[in-house]
Amino acid sequence: MPDSPNSTDEKIRLQVFLAHSGVASRRACEQIIQDGRVTVNGTVVTELGTKVSSADTITVDGKKIKPESRKCYVLLNKPAGFVCSASDEKGRQVAADLLRDSYKERLYNVGRLDMYSKGMILFTNDGDFAAKLSHPSSQIEKEYIVETSQDVPEDFPSHFEKGIRVENTFYKCVRCRILKPRKVSITLIEGKNREIRTVLESQGIGTRSLVRVRIGNVNLDDLRPGEHRDLTPAEVKGLLELAVNR
């Protein structure tokens, strides 16, 4: 099968090899290569078309890389105060560290939550899975429960569903429901950086708590902050179907 490391002799593209090794999504691996962070048999390689096999010695940032035989799909309930990145130059806590005692595989997050937001974040070492879910065309729904500092006006949901422009950026949700005067459910597809906080602030409403409770067909349910679990095969299949069928 093309671009799948099934034998030690088979040559595949370097970015595919890295993605199958759990380094990052395929697209992110392309950037890692172009940044000069990858060596093949001791030589820095920046050309994306480079073909390699498991017989080659490949490193990223000086660490030897090899394909992982087990594909992992993990749901983490991220607490506030953790950043979604492989490492943080400011020394802040990294969400992936919450998984290190349970998984020997190199896992990376699919999508992000900002440092102060809580709830669902997916981790995997399957580059193809991450790429399909992260692609803009997938349009997988993400639902958030937001607690606010002020009462949410009754007309806010209809305005957000129609679209709100803030400093030349247009924000539009799929659904918005007021659950209590200071509690609202918001469902997004695209999810621009700090979208919910920005839109609420533009209406003079502060955000006290923001929790992502659903991604596509997968719900947070009773998973407590800091806890994680493997996705079921049905959940993985459902996410991929949502990404393909949109």
Handedness of CA 21, 24, 28, 31 (dihedral sign): negative
Residue 114 is a catalytic residue = yes
Angle between helices 127-134 and 26-34 (to 10 degrees): 100
Where does residue 64 rank: exposed (0-12), middle (13-18), buried (19+ CB within 10 A)?
exposed
The H or E element that residue 31 is part of is helix 26-34
The H or E element that residue 17 is part of is helix 14-20
Distances, alpha carbon 91 to alpha carbons 94, 159, 189, 211, 241, in Å: 9, 39, 31, 24, 38
Distances, alpha carbon 46 to alpha carbons 43, 113, 127, 154, 195, in Å: 10, 30, 19, 54, 35
Which is catalytic among the residues 35, 88, 114, 151? 114
Where do we find the tokens 């048999």?
41
Structure tokens at 184: 């609202």
Active site residues: 114
